[in-house]
Homo-oligomer: A and B are copies of this chain.
Amino acid sequence: MAVTIKDVAKKAGVAPSTVSRVIADSPRISIDTKKRVRKAMKELGYHPNVNARNLAVRSSKAIGVIMPSSAETALQNPFFPEVLRGVGTVAHETEYSLYVSTGGNDQQLYEEVKRMVYGHRVDGIILLYSRMNDAIMDFLVEEKFPFVVVGKPYENEASITYVDNDNISASKEVTRHLIDFGHKDIAFIGGTTDLVVTTDRFEGYKQALIEAGIKVREDYVINDEFNRTSGKKAVEKLLKLKIPPTAMVITDDMMSLGVINMLEEFGLDCPEDISITSFNNLYLSEITRPPLTTVDIQIYKLGIQGAKCLIEQLQTKDEPAKRVIVPFSIKYRSSTKRFEP
């Protein structure tokens, strides 16, 4: 069996509690004993058992990261590794460990969260998505378990700490850009409608159109998963319309990629025939043909801020609910063009 606090105590000729205090660097222990104990620890190669510690202090110094059900598909979109990267950085600095969800379906993910929470596996949770009527978020609220969400909560907005972009403005701005370029038939390709990010971005799109006196056409609005295939399918649908759009506001780079591919299959050129704007500024948005005009939402920073908020919440009791808005910027590249009939 591994060396325990008792072995160290024996070797150093002190009580286990003293060793424990040395570990915690308590001021109640004299310098001398500290030295002696530390020496004993070194010599025996002592390392604390986290489980025992966690049990005693009822905490785990670990945070759980929850990706949309089936991390399997989630990890396909570089958005998640990138937030994870941000979260990891902060976790590392603050010496927290990272537990990541492994997915499956909604039900399984829910079970996993319960295990994390009830099982005291993690001290807090970062939710990497936000949608309406989410059982997991409800559960966390109900249990009063510390968590922050990356994205805007569907309800209880005021009492939940979250980090987000100003998606409405971003979407509005990008849509206006298209309008400024003379486009009037502008489609919207968004994520599934249960996601708050989708509704926000749609809202911005709508506002821009309305302000420009353009009617919002239902058949110009398509919602689906954030992936390539969805982008492709969306194009197929849109091009079938009597009046196909001349521009598209797309809310995810992976989707945009699919859109570009499909346009090509249809023999259409972007931006010559159709202009598109995108969201996320994944590195891939620079390498597509054409490079995408996209909203840089600073994914990495979202992760950093999310983790920071959570850890503050964990460390100071009764930390008030916070909201942090990470600024976006639009990367103008070459996927849009002035409309010439």
User: A-side interface residues toward B, CB under 8 Å?
Assistant: 2, 47-52, 54-55, 60, 62, 71-72, 75-76, 78, 80-82, 84-85, 88-89, 91-92, 97-100, 102-104, 108, 112, 114-115, 118-121, 228, 257, 261, 283-284, 287-289
Contacts and interface: CB of A to CB of B under 8 A. Distances in A.
State how many copies of this chain the complex holds: 2
Contacts of A72: 85, 88-89
Nearest to A96: B102
Contacts of A50: 115, 119-121
Contacts of A112: 92
Contact of A92 (B51, B81, B103, B284): B103
Contacts of A88: 71-72, 75, 100, 102-103
Given A91-B102, A92-B104, A100-B98, A51 B120 contact: yes
Majority SS of interface residues in chain A?
A: helix
Given A88-B100, A97-B115, A284-B287, 15 more contacts: A2-B118, A50-B115, A50-B119, A50-B120, A51-B60, A51-B121, A52-B55, A71-B84, A71-B85, A75-B85, A75-B88, A80-B81, A92-B102, A98-B99, A289-B289
B121 A97 contact: yes
